Amino acid sequence: MAGLESILENEEVKEYFRRALESGRISHCYIIGGEDGLGKMTLAKAAAQTLICEAPGEKPCGSCPACTRFLAGSHPDVLYPKHAKPTVFGVDDVRDGIVRDMLIKPYSSPYKIYIVDEAEKLSVQAQNALLKTIEEPPAYGILMLLATNPAAFLETIRSRSVILTMKPVSNPVLERYLKEQGIDEQKIPSLVRFSQGNIGKALKLAQSERFSEMTGRIMELLKRSDSMSFGSLLEGIGELEEYKLEIMDILSFIRMWYRDILLFKATSDPNLLIFGDEFSSIRKFSQKYSYNGIEHILKEIDVTERRLDANVNYSLSLELLWIAIREAAGVH
């Protein structure tokens, strides 16, 4: 089971697949959930390779013709349906890429596996088009729907699927993994803290030359948010615009900061903090903010994400967030 064993932690999900593969009780539709970067695609590929492996012993062997083609990305019976529009997986995409194609028997494998990334983008019409295939699939047909939010699927789809959820890994495991990948050890504590057990996010940030610079600037703004003049604050916000593509990472960073403040205010336990090295600042702000004030900031971060998703002006969205932060601290 080398394929599944390559997945860090997530023992419940791995054990489910081990038992299913050993017993031959394979579902015709899986929904694999979890935020981006937690390994949904890694799990789907590991299961698919195990299913199509031709070796008589432990699977996947990694060296049989089927494994060789799979690892080269050219196995004809493991397919990755695409969607024409970036924001939606339409009914025509599903009919052409899955429903009709599944009627054609596998080329060389006992199974024909469809790994559908970003499946939360399936429109209602597309999901309904899939329903008959899920209800009455050919014996060889397997669907793996990868989605950040399995609740977005119709109940008729969810009730006919096995739902598996990928979870973040523990900090020690993530730290060890990053060391094994040859990541600069000086960067690892910040990467572990910021990614919160998300391996994909940690690797993405490790490859970003701007990560340390970006988090440093944000931290400076957060620590001085109650003492800076509004003009200086606007100038600092303006400087963040060069990180516009990383805005959701910026908001995640701010959210973690205020959750730390809330947690310390409630427990007075510095050992629970993500930003433990900023203990003195967190203690200061925990005294300055009320519970309602911190909760208001956390809600405003959610509002800011929605504004940006709706293409509200970037600078205006951040300015409104920082106004809310200052108001919660009693600064006007």
**161-173 average pLDDT score:** 95
Phi and psi (nearest 5°) for 87?
Answer: -100, -10
Give the chain's mean pLDDT: 89
**Are the CB atoms for 78 and 106 separated by under 8 Å?**
no
Residue type, 261: I
Model pTM greater than 0.75?
Answer: yes
> What's the confidence (pLDDT) of residue 225?
79
Residue 332, pLDDT > 60, answer: no
For 30-45, b/e burial (b = at least 16 CB within 10 A) is: bbbbbeebbbbbbbbb
One domain, residues 107 and 214? no
Identify which of 81, 82, 10 has the alpha carbon closest to the alpha carbon of residue 46. Answer: 10
One domain, residues 176 and 235? no
One domain, residues 50 and 141? yes
Structurally, how many domains does the chain consist of? 3
One domain, residues 154 and 281? no
One domain, residues 16 and 122? yes
One domain, residues 175 and 201? yes
One domain, residues 142 and 253? no
> Domain span at residue 225?
209-328
> What's the confidence (pLDDT) of residue 197?
92
Task: Return the minimum-mean-pLDDT range out of 8-12, 13-17, 202-206.
Answer: 202-206
- Work out the angle at residue 117's Cα, subtended by the Cα atoms of residues 114 and 123, and round it to the nearest 5 degrees: 95
CATH number of the domain bearing residue 297: 1.20.272
**221-235 average pLDDT score:** 80
Confidence of residue 1 (pLDDT cuts 50, 70, 90): very low
**Are the CB atoms for 264 and 286 separated by under 8 Å?**
yes
> What's the confidence (pLDDT) of residue 178?
94
Residue type, 158: R
Confidence of residue 230 (pLDDT cuts 50, 70, 90): confident
Cα maximum dimension of the chain: 71
> What's the confidence (pLDDT) of residue 331?
57
- pLDDT per position as a tens digit, 30-55: 999 999 999 999 999 999 999 999 99
Query: To the nearest whole percent, how much of the chain has pLDDT over 70?
Result: 98
> What's the confidence (pLDDT) of residue 245?
64
- pLDDT per position as a tens digit, 127-143: 999 999 999 999 999 99
Residue type, 326: R
